[in-house]
Amino acid sequence: MNQQPDGVSEGSAQRGGFAVEINGLYKWFGTFQVLSDINLKVRNGERVVICGPSGSGKSTLIRCINALEDYQRGEVVVEGVPLTHNLKRIDEIRREIGMVFQQFNLFPHLTVLENCTLAPIYVRKMPKSDAERIARKYLDRVRIPEQADKYPGQLSGGQQQRVAIARALCMSPKIMMFDEPTSSLDPEMVKEVLDTMVELAQEGMTMLVVTHEMGFARQVANRMVFMDAGQILEINTPAAFFSNPQHERTRAFLSQILKNA
Amino acid sequence: MIAVTEDDIFVRSQRVSVLPPPLAAAGPIGWARANLFSSPVNTLLTIAILALLVWIVPTLVRFLFIDATWSGADRDACLAGPHDEAGACWAFVRDRFSYFIYGSYPIGQRWRVDTFFAMLAFGSAWLLWLDAPRRDLGALYFFVVMPVCAYVLLNGWPLIGLQSVDTALWGGMLVTVVVTTVGMVASLPLGILLALGRRSSLPAVRILSALFIEFVRGVPLITVLFMASVMLPLFVPPAWAPDKLLRALTGIVLFSSAYMAEVVRAGLVAIPRGQYEAASALGLRFWRMQRLIILPQALRITIPNIVNSFIALFKDTTLVFFVGIFDFLKTIEVARVDPKWATPVTSATGYAFAAVFYFVFCFLMARYADRIEYRLARADRR
Tens of pLDDT along B134-158?
A: 888 988 999 899 999 999 999 888 8
Average pLDDT of chain A is 89
Task: Select the more confidently predicted residue: B377 or A86.
Answer: A86
Higher-confidence residue of B93 and B35: namely B93
* Residues of chain A by 3-state class (helix, strand, coil), percent to 5: 45, 25, 35
The DSSP bridge partners found for residue B61 are: none
Mean pLDDT of B215-234: 88
CA distance A254 to chain B (A): 30
- What is the C-alpha to C-alpha distance for residues B62 and A235, in angstroms, rounded to an integer? 90
pLDDT at A144 over 70: yes
Question: Could you tell me which residues of chain A have a Cβ less than 8 Å from any Cβ in chain B?
Answer: 66-68, 87, 91, 94-95, 97-99, 101, 103, 105-109, 118-119, 122-123, 151, 153-154, 164, 167-168, 171
Report the pLDDT value the prediction gives residue B162, as an integer from 0 to 100: 86
With a cut of 0.85, is the ipTM above it?
yes
Q: Which residue of A has its CA nearest to B297?
A: A109
State the DSSP H helix or E strand holding residue A78, giving kind and residue range, or none if neither.
Answer: strand A73-78
Closest Cα to residue A212, out of A13, A30, A45, A56?
A: A56
Which pLDDT value is given to residue A188? 85
Q: Which residue, among A96, A103, A98, has the nearest Cα to A116 in the 3D structure?
A: A98
Q: Grade residue A13 by pLDDT with cuts at 50, 70 and 90.
A: very low
Out of A68, A103, A108, closest to residue B281 by CB: A68
CB-closest option in B280, B282, B296 to A109: B296
Average pLDDT of chain B, as a whole number: 89
Tell me the whole-structure pTM to 2 decimals.
0.83
Q: Which CATH architecture has domain A6-105+175-260?
A: 3-Layer(aba) Sandwich (3.40)
Per the CB < 8 Å rule, is B283 touching A107?
no
In b/e form, how buried is each residue of B127-144, taking b as 16+ CB within 10 angstroms? ebeeeeeeeeebeebbee
Q: What backbone phi and psi angles, to 5 degrees, belong to A21?
A: -135, 120
Q: Is the pLDDT of residue A62 over 50?
A: yes
Instruction: Categorize the per-residue pLDDT at A47 as very low, low, confident or very high, splitting at 50, 70 and 90.
Output: very high
Give the angle A51-A55-A56 at the CA atoms, nearest 5°.
45
Average pLDDT for residues A122-133, to the nearest whole number? 94
pLDDT of A10: 39
What is the DSSP code (8-state) at residue A152? G
